[in-house]
Amino acid sequence: MAQQTEIYDYLRSVDCCRVCCLRFLKGGKEEFVDIDAALLKRGLELGDHVNGEQKVKKLKENVCIACLGLFELDRIATLACEVKENPSYQQYQCEAGFLTSISLPIVLHLRQLALWFDLVDRFPQTFSPETPPDIAVKDALKMIIIHQLERILEKPFSVDGVMINVPYSFANEEEELRPLEQVSPGVFANRKANKHTKKEFISRNAFEKHFTPTAINSDRFRRHYAVPPVSSEGVGLVRGELSFTGPTIFLAGRYNKFSRELSQTPWMVDGKRKMEGSVQETIGASIAPHFGVSDEQFIFSSSGREDVDVRCLGEGRPFVLEIVGAKTDQLPEEVAIRMEQEVGKSQTVAIRDVQLVKREDLVHIRHGEEDKRKFYRALCVTAEPVTEAMVQKLRIDEPFVMQQVTPLRVLHRRTLLQRPRTVYSVKAFACRENPYALVVDIVSQAGTYIKELVHSDFGRTGPSFRSIIEAEIDIHALDVMAIDLDWPKKIRR
């Protein structure tokens, strides 16, 4: 207790603010919520301060040597109200709450280092060169700010909420940091030689790695910097303009594609569009307005994809839209219904089961793709009339494995590989109206190239329907009938 009081009195004597004193005394989370109560409980003050008002007056004359005025409580107290009244914040309707992103200048690390040297010398029983002497300045600031924001905004802190960006800067930072080149010249020589190093003088990670009491020479540091650091009278941190970033949310559903002239995503070749529209854009146009974003803020994912000339029928293909910077994290039932109806008006795409999902739910759509089964119906044509023998040969109940070399039609965008794929069943039917046509139902492993399964791609896929019936056969039309993925949850609207 006596040592704690001695440390506190010393820090106050060198113009360390009360919050920073508590940081160097390793205060707990609850203590930073009420500084006055924390110091009173520790017996460090007599309780004659009201939110540190008497001390704030002194801080205005002598800026804290550690935080450069960051923890002036009167200034911090206005932050939450500024956020609540900010028009940019008011446009977000997010029930999840908020989170904070605080940007602090590196000069605070430099001042912590100077105090670290000083405290290790003066109080070796308490402070060590190997262990940081304080609660990190950003952590302490968040403890204070988050508590106030929760109270004023009446919303919880949540990683799924609106991000409140709070930037701070220090006018004299470059001037204070520049002598570090003399303290540890090797660090900066290596940074200049490394082409991947950013143009900034030194990064936060580089400072934390190379500038600690055990990494640099104490005497050399003291030749260039005051230990303890001195007050920067009249010059402190300046808080920049608040900004806000909406949460990233995930909207899932299933889509049907009824057109044989529509790509799943925008089809670009050499920077030019190959066709107008896509499944992604058709869906996005009806969903974007509710979340207050543009189509460019979508990341579209699905359980596989069909070719431009292939329809997707049945229950549809599961998809997810990752929506970055959303203005709301809510999807009322009536809005979901309207979205489904608006997409349906396109006559080319329909969606169902539209709902919000969690990031961790994406494991369903992004993993185990090759373990899924896909169900297809193919309209095939033969060079000679279909016989009963052909039909029987294409009625296969037992699974078989074929080898597919990357098809010629996709070789420009796929690695040349031989891939084993399982076909679980084949069931063919002759067409009464056309003696040269077959309808074939196929259940196969996801990732199977069905067109090549039919015609063999000049022998690059085998066995194929062509090799099985020993006759020329090609595919005229293909539909995806079902996808073996029971996700997302089915909602019958």
Q: How far apart are CA 38 and CA 330, in angstroms?
A: 40
Q: Provide DSSP, 218-284.
A: HHHHHHHS-SSPPP-TT---EE---EEEPPPEEEEEEEEE--SS-BSS--EETTEESSS-BHHHHHH
In the predicted structure, residue 309 carries a pLDDT above the cut 60: yes
User: Are 450 and 410 spatial neighbours (Cβ–Cβ below 8 Å)?
Assistant: no
**Averaged pLDDT of the chain:** 93
The SS3 assignment for 168 reads: strand
Among the listed ranges 186-200, 369-383, 471-485, which one has the minimum average pLDDT value? 186-200
Beta carbons within 8 Å of 156's beta carbon, 6+ residues apart:
96, 97, 98, 150
* Residue 221, pLDDT score: 97
CA 166/CA 163 separation, integer angstroms = 10
Question: Could you give the CA distance from residue 21 to residue 39 in angstroms, rounded to a whole number?
Answer: 9
pLDDT of 34 > 50? The answer is yes
Record the tokens describing residue 226, joined without a space: 């005051």
Residue 307 bears catalytic tag:
yes
Active-site residue, selected from the candidate residues 36, 160, 295, 307: 307
Percentage, residues of the chain above pLDDT 90: 84
Sign of the CA dihedral 244, 247, 248, 253? negative
Residue range(s) of every CATH 3.30.70.2510 domain in the chain: 247-369
Helix, strand, coil tally for the chain in percent (to 5): 35, 25, 40
Confidence check: pLDDT of 29 > 50: yes
Closest CA to 156 of 92, 94, 228: 94
Percent of the chain with pLDDT over 70: 94
Enumerate residues 6+ apart whose C-beta is below 8 A from 153: 80, 83, 84, 97, 98
CATH of 372-483, one of 3.20.20.70, 3.30.70.3190, 3.40.50.300, 2.60.120.260: 3.30.70.3190
Pairing state of beta strands 162-169 and 98-103?
A: parallel
Cα separation, 113 vs 177, whole angstroms? 12
Query: Residues 6 or more apart from 481 whose CB is under 8 A from it?
Result: 313, 314, 375, 376, 377, 441
- C-beta separation of 460 from 404 below 8 A: yes
Which pLDDT belongs to residue 55? 46
Residue 111: how many other CB atoms lie within 10 Å: 23
Q: Residue holding tokens 């016989």?
A: 387
Residues of the chain with CATH 3.30.70.3190: 372-483
296 — pLDDT class (breaks 50, 70, 90): confident
Q: Does domain 247-369 bear CATH number 3.40.1550.10?
A: no
Q: What pLDDT, on a 0 to 100 scale, did the predictor assign at position 193?
A: 64
- pLDDT band at residue 52 under the 50/70/90 scheme: very low
Write the pLDDT tens digit of every residue in 181-240: 999 998 887 766 666 666 678 999 999 999 999 999 999 999 999 999 998 766 789 999
pLDDT band at 50 (very low <50, low <70, confident <90, very high): very low
Q: Please state the pTM of the whole predicted model.
A: 0.86
Separation between Cα atoms, residue 87 and residue 217, nearest integer Å? 50
Chain segment 136-183, per-residue pLDDT in tens: 999 999 999 999 999 999 999 999 999 999 999 999 999 999 999 999
Residues 250-259: tens digit of each pLDDT: 999 999 999 9
CA torsion 137-140-144-147 (nearest 10°) is 130
